[in-house]
Structure 1
């Protein structure tokens, strides 16, 4: 583990000029270095912000979420899962359980909140978090696969052992192996939700204009998590990229 401290430039500073960002590198259980940024306000609690699929700590809305917490004088830590952003390791398509272990390494280091399904799997396995905010998380993990991998993906991946995903211009983006695909399909979100302890408060945030994960999936979390609140933000998209939408969600967090 290593740490690099720096002060923000005058353009990055908020009203509190003493506030600092710290780049922190934490080793996971596989010996890979996970890179994150701590927004240190001196608060007694720290929010851990987990990015989504094929994203990173530096993509919207992660920095925006951290800045909203910063203005509220709450420390936060945003980081890259293994195989994403600056962190070491190889990107894997499913990988939910392994990313939950990455989160375990982060929390053990910080002891001090989005890939929604990952944080819920973590809360189901470990009982050391009191609050989880699940932003735009998918309940039915078997859905949305065809949108990325194309039709007959199961047949094609069994024939070839993998599927290469390309963008609209035909440029290679990432490879999905049969093992990683089955990891996603076999991940049981329903079982995980039932395993979350009633002392862990869960807030699910969903935008009414989410075009990636249908808004109705949010109500599934409410059915099975014992201590749960649902926040539907009118007009918000999947990434809740609008700062006002994020602020609305975090105001809801303070009331759960």
Structure 2
């Protein structure tokens, strides 16, 4: 069941210019709190993804402000879509965090789904300024899952042609360049996660029936992230199609814990 915000009139569009000059478009769910949570979508997705919207509504109903936005080249944001560019999305997220810190808010948590889950973990490995991170179905091994998306012999073909065009239902969906593919292959989640501070509280949530990213990836994160909690939602797929309420409950509870930690730290 989808979450419905009790007071949607408190939503407003916010545009933030990133360090590369692209305008990032997002929706602020204002609950009147200084504390705010940032929500990050996955690959070929947007801020309008059901998971992201449902979590924003659940947080709003819990009295917590949140901001959901489109990464560069996705949704309403400027720039061109790139298949890799994980660290560029970390840069986008950092610009968003800095914006709200300068707008009299305090970002208490970052939440990401799928590719966004990997991005929030990479962020935590680099910036060390957010003490609560929620990884929803993020990928641990970025070398995996490529043949399913790009086809057999993808590395040989992309080195020969310089790109692969990904088709969806017989029509062009997006182009993967050699540069963006190598960017993904060169992004090492294991090494990055070893750099996450032990003071950073990381929650990983994964569905036991995820056909896109194996639930085993979640266990790998649990092995190496020092301050880590793992929750497996039984029967849930990659999009938590029939488990939205359960996901929202788990996430909101974690954010309530983050609020307590934040108030104690102030």
Q: Residue 138 of structure 1 aligns to a residue in which SS?
A: coil
- In structure 2, what is the equivalent of residue 37 of structure 1? 27
Q: Secondary structure at the match of 1:245?
A: helix
| Match among 51, 73, 96 for residue 41 of structure 2 | 51
Greater than 3 Å deviation, 4+ residue runs: none
In structure 1, stretches of 5+ residues that fail to align are 1-11
Determine if the alignment matches structure 1 residue 180 to structure 2 residue 180. Answer: yes
The match for 2:119 is: 118
Is 1:193 the counterpart of 2:193? The answer is yes
- What is the distance in 2 between the residues matched to 1:180 and 1:27? 22
Shift of 1:251: 4.5
Cα deviations by residue, 1:81-115 (Å, 9 ceiling, x for unpaired): 00000000000001100000000000000122221
TM-score, normalised on structure 1? 0.91
- Pairwise mapping of residues 14-25 of structure 1 onto structure 2 (< 5 A)? 14=6, 20-25=10-15
Matches within 5 A, 1:1-256: 14=6, 20-111=10-101, 112=106, 113=110, 114=112, 115-168=116-169, 170-241=170-241, 242-253=243-254, 254-255=256-257
Distance 1:13 1:69, change over 3 A: closer
Q: TM-score w.r.t. structure 2 length?
A: 0.88
Residue-by-residue CA offset, 1:224-251 (whole Å, 9 max, x unaligned):
1111000111122112233212223214
Deviations 1:38-95 (A, max 9, x none): 0000123111000000000012111101001011101110000000000000000011
Please state how far the C-alpha of 1:252 moved relative to its aligned partner.
4.6
Are the structure 2 counterparts of residues 157 and 204 from structure 1 closer, same or farther at C-alpha, using a change threshold of 3 Å?
same
For the 8 Å contact 1:48–1:76, the answer to whether it is kept is yes
Larger RCO (alpha carbons 8 Å, 6+ apart): 2
Cα distance in 1 for partners of 2:240, 2:5 equals 23
Please list every run of 5 or more consecutive structure 2 residues that lacks an aligned counterpart in the other structure: 259-266
Q: Give the length in aligned residue pairs.
A: 242
How far, CA to CA, are the matches of 1:117 and 1:238 in structure 2?
14
* RMSD over aligned Cα atoms: 1.4
Contact 1:231 1:252 survives alignment (8 Å): no
Q: Secondary structure at the match of 1:61?
A: helix
SS in 1 for 2:50: coil
SS at match of 2:194: helix
Tell me, in whole angstroms, the C-alpha distance in 2 between the residues paired with 1:231 and 1:120: 16
Deviation string 1:149-175 (CA, Å, 9 cap, x unpaired) is: 00000000000000000013x200000
- Inter-CA distance 104–13: structure 2 relative to 1 (3 Å threshold): closer
